[in-house]
Chain A
């Protein structure tokens, strides 16, 4: 045994191995203690010491700190569940309009608001203290803010188009009597035309007139058909308009809530980007206060 060590080309010895293992044991033991003591701040530091140093303490370490989180990485779901408790409390005051649902251990859906048909807005990552917003939902909100500045709404064009369609259909339905009268006239004219016994040199003209009248009649019956399907179509469009105004109502509530908490969309984005630091600093203050007592 001894012989081997002396000849080890990697200058490995048990002392080094043992101290490396001790460090790992200490890491896990620290993590365990922090969990038991409810010291989430320390847990975050242990999970990502480098990010913690730069973003929370504002340090610029020359060398990256050793990171042992790999040792507990398979416990992410459990850790996330544990950390979510205090994090969601904190978010409850800073983002009062977000609601969370743990759909599986340590995984949280974010809901925007608790109003009717509120949107599922993505997921909360408690380990990295960040929102992973659903792209579509987030983009629509961003667009809604953007358009608002121009006094427009996301669904304006679509709603306007549907509204115009309905106006047109209503007009078609209302004009039924006029069309009926017109058709009656044309039918009379057709009869008159057919009663004519023209001179050979006029026959072409009469025939042409007959065709024109037939065409006019066909066009009117086509419009009649559109009108008779009109009511169902109007109802369909109305339902669509309703769905679109519901969406707009939801965007409005979302915007109102963001403004009430952050003042502007930009401030909201800014806060999201610095959420890790802000949350951990707030935890740190809390710890100090508790220590002081």
Chain B
């Protein structure tokens, strides 16, 4: 009975009602567009970090088109992340050294680091998580870090950072490379301090005692023999340490320790760095000491520093 009734009602939709539905649909589409514009306006001009993050989260995966209203010119989700990053640095007084380089190219914004010349960088959306994005150099497929504004996560990828900054950019002034790294570290720090983001600094972590875990688990003795020989060639002496480990005192009392944090059955080899200012990171050592870099690259398979496997794997 009731079914019949409903069908009857639909059938008697008047022209006025039809047109009203039509205008409503367009209005909804326009409202949706206007909400988008507000959010974009906020992303572009707000002075408040909180509003900036809210706008970026809102704009990421925003469905701007509706059945009745479509917008032909749209910024991509990747673009939104990049604009967010640039504005974040600007608002936290870290604008120097990071710029969006081609603002007119909607859909694929690129950015540059002031100290790295023409090398451009951009975001790429994760295939596993629609709110996750990888930041990397446009010319190389290397995810330097992963950013998820919605889940408040930023994770650096050790292997890619080393491949890019130590190998690809070899020959470039180390201080220029460090400046660029500093920009990324600052961005991560602002996210951590302002919004409580979970950050994995990985090979950029300068905090004393941070354990850089090697991929191999077990490090065979010849690898440490090699470090010993290379150190001695450079007037540093690798000292024997606890449980078959080793320690190397570098310049300014910076101490690198390589050891097994597991046990014989389940070896978990890695390195820690201690320095007075808690500034030195694994990546810095590779940049500052060519013999450590050579050692690392010669034994990359074993010495690779592990990053988050779920995100980057």
| Interface residues, chain A, with chain B CB atoms under 8 Å away | 114-118, 239, 242-243, 245-246, 249, 252-253
Contact = CB atoms under 8 A, between A and B. Distances in A.
A249 B222 contact: no
A253 B232 CA distance: 9
A249 to B, nearest CB: 4
Nearest to B237: A115
A43 to B, nearest CB: 34
Enumerate the 6 nearest inter-chain pairs by beta-carbon distance, A residue then B residue, closest first: A116-B228, A116-B238, A249-B232, A246-B225, A245-B229, A116-B240
A117 B225 CA distance: 8
A253 B237 CA distance: 9
6 contacts: A115-B237, A116-B224, A116-B228, A116-B240, A242-B229, A246-B229
Interface in B222-253: 222, 224-229, 232, 237-240, 246
Interface residues of B, number: 14
Interface of B: 221-222, 224-229, 232, 237-240, 246
Contacts of B222: 239, 242-243
Contact of A242 (B226, B237, B238): B226
A246 B239 contact: no
Interface secondary structure of B, over-half rule = helix
Contact of B240 (A117, A242, A243, A252): A117
Contact of B229 (A118, A239, A249): A249
Contacts of A116: 224-225, 227-228, 238-240, 246
A96 to B, nearest CB: 14
B178 to A, nearest CB: 29
B240 A118 contact: yes
A115 B225 contact: no
Given A249-B232, A252-B232, A253-B232, A243 B225 contact: yes
A249 B240 contact: no
Contacts of A114: 239-240
A94 B148 CA distance: 61
Contacts of A117: 221, 225, 228, 240
Given A239-B222, A243-B222, A115 B229 contact: no
A245 B232 CA distance: 10
Nearest to A111: B240
A253 B239 CA distance: 12
Contacts of B239: 114-116
